[in-house]
Amino acid sequence: MEASWTVVAVLVLACALNVQPKHDAGDIAKENLKTQQILAQYLQRRLFPQYYLQQQIKATLEAAAGAASGTASGTASTSSSAAQGAQGAQAADDEALQTFESEQVAYFNDPDEGEVTSTRTPRKQGPPPTSPPPINVLDPIDECSSANCLEEGGASLLPNRWTMPLLRLGEKRFYLGIFFKANWYRATQYCRYHGMHLASISSQEENDKLEKHIRDYGLGHEHFWTSGTDQAEEGTFFWMATGRPITFTNWNTGEPNNFRYENGEEEHCLELWNRDGKGLKWNDSPCSFETYFVCEV
């Protein structure tokens, strides 16, 4: 009898050793969730180390504040460590910002010195914008200050990323949009957003002075949109800025010709272009063409 019970015990033990653990769907889901969380935390630490450090500091402070027990010295130590971590995170942020540090340079004519002067204001910022800072042209500008406007025949200034003076020609002020290239419609939108219009040109004198202003910036070889268009009626150009028909003209030889491209697009927008090396004259071009532009206020 004892031998029989011994055999039974051995068989039960053997079966127990051969039994494989079974996991239901819930257990598998929990394990998958843990794996995803671990992977997410790892990527967060590698890709966003400053954010991860700040989250750790926040969690430490919350745990310290919510702890029901612990000595005052222990709490002070935790807060001190968190504060040091915060200072380290701030220092890291400052260092990261210094990577993108630039200087805002404002050029103006010094009437006493008679030469171009520059003032530099160091500042920290993120990556450079894709478009320039807004130009405040909505305020009355009856007086043209030397800091943001050039009189006719004023000294030539080198362009920079942060400032572009307005050129005053009689009652008009012109602004060169040279910070990005845009098609005619986007250029129109940009000028209007900042309280301006794409430029209109009403005389040879105005055309010549605007051309000189552009050439002084070393951009005489570039294309520049104006507000001229014949989209309403082929061959009848008018200034979108004023709604008036174009009376003075300065077309390149053979223009406007409304050239038709393989994609079916035609030329309905007026640009300034030094096509033949004879100066910035007028040319009709596809409105989808992306180039610089001239705004007026």
Sequence ranges of the domains in the chain = 174-296
Q: Under CATH, which number does the domain 174-296 receive? A: 3.10.100.10
H/E element holding 115? Answer: strand 115-123
Torsion over CA: 158, 159, 163, 167 (sign): positive
| Residue 49 CA from chain centroid, whole number | 24
Provide the pLDDT for residue 169.
Answer: 82
User: Which pTM value belongs to this model?
Assistant: 0.51
- β-pair type (149-150, 166-169): parallel
Torsion angle of alpha carbons 181, 186, 189, 195, nearest 10°? 10
CB distance 148 to 106 below 8 Å = no
Counting every residue written for the chain, the total comes to: 297
The stretch 116-122 carries a mean pLDDT of 35
Residues 218-260 pLDDT 10s? 999 999 999 999 999 999 999 999 999 999 999 999 999 999 9
Q: What is the DSSP string of 174-189?
A: EEEEEEEEE-HHHHHH
CB distance 291 to 222 below 8 Å = yes
Residues 173-220 pLDDT 10s? 999 999 999 999 999 999 999 999 999 999 999 999 999 999 988 999
